[in-house]
Structure 1
């Protein structure tokens, strides 16, 4: 399970919605908490449907400021406790660990109202003893080194925020990725960067999810970077690559000619050699079509990571250019898939671009082991635990039980003759 928390600075921009669609397809979070939506409920519901999520809870904006939204992937996955302009508080039911509490938080940005945010946290802490996690834009720093550029952050504000967290028994969850989650005036003498967004939790919550990790995503159309809370840290497992013939290739006019050319060039070879070479040619040709946008987006993200820490004028210009290119690629990718949907899936999908995306996603879900039950009835979800359960099962399956290997008296075993042995070891034809 994972969660996204992001100060999106308005849901009115198509770029913001496009970015949300991209990260939901990549990360597949169970919940998304958005602050400063600057939107009414109708707009949030529209966005929710666009990214194909089941439901949402909305705190509408007040004029041209504020606004919160909690969006969830599956119905019945959470229970709302309370909400106002500062937070959305809800409970999550988990079969493995039981109930726990999650609060999406938005702190007051005005200096004179910081203590108001702290008092809200104190009030929330008193309302439940459930394991508790709070994540969002606190508009506060814990330490002086969480700011770069601009005037020094007031020590009284640092101390007040840290003391509030201690009173609430909340501890910082740390992060990986970008150090600063918010910035303004990049490339100018007034450039400021701060870590305003974070996740904090009680010790009881950390005991439930000892492998939990917050990743700061490297790029966003807002001046805030999104936070991705992974409850079970993902371990990279390299997958064995195998050839898959894509049905969509049949619709390409070059596909048949490529197969004919490959088959003609290997005349005289064994059938397996000819098939293998044909597969290689198809992957070289068809794989490029699939990978083009993915590779370009990955390169853009890599450049953005490298340029983000540069504070010179040229670096700032290059960062803005790369960021524009990334957002523009998202737009082009969307147009590309819509065109392909009309061209190749007109009959099957009735001009509905969701048709083939939903079909592929459903098949992938059906073929993915998300959790497994061991011999003691316990559910296991992480990659390592799932592998251990499978290994244990098949190791026991092929072991004999209750037999010391001795044959009972009078029992005979038929011997394999030399002629029969020759037939068994002969090469398959």
Structure 2
């Protein structure tokens, strides 16, 4: 009788739906409100008020998710706009731009400002997410943020009245002390006279009582 090892592998092909994450920069897109109105106006099969609202939010999530997957990436759009602007500027070095070309370049510059604003919102949201998930952990991300905040709160150099820069702690402290001392001024003590005879006078009524 022989014993043969048997290896059994079990797997599943059940598809997993991707997690929907709303991007804040989408609210700056020119077609965002149209997409929201379209998704909210889609009909639902429910009659209960709470289920109707829940169904509308599901429709809205599905529509925004599909629209978000089809729009171009911010990085690609910014690079394309910068490339065309550089071509327009290069063309201007050889000849004067026509009026339509001037208007086209102005529109490109406005589009680049709008795209840069969306990109700033995108990275701000990413930074917030990373800080929430990794901020309290002893990670390189936490230490990097702490170092940046510390550098912002540190005065690296102080310039004195002669224009010289000082970086040591004692020199900076002395400059600040002299600066505030000169601004607040100094009090000079002269004299103080205290006439105890005029303040303390004998009284015969302290030990008497009225009956």
On whether the aligned pair clears a TM of 0.5, the verdict is no
What TM-score do the two structures reach when normalised by structure 1?
0.14
Of structures 1 and 2, the larger Rg is shown by: 2
Question: Which protein is richer in helix relative to its size?
Answer: 2
Structure number with the bigger relative contact order (C-alpha 8 A, sep ≥ 6) is 2
Please, what TM-score do these two structures have when normalized by structure 2? 0.25
Greater per-residue strand proportion: 1
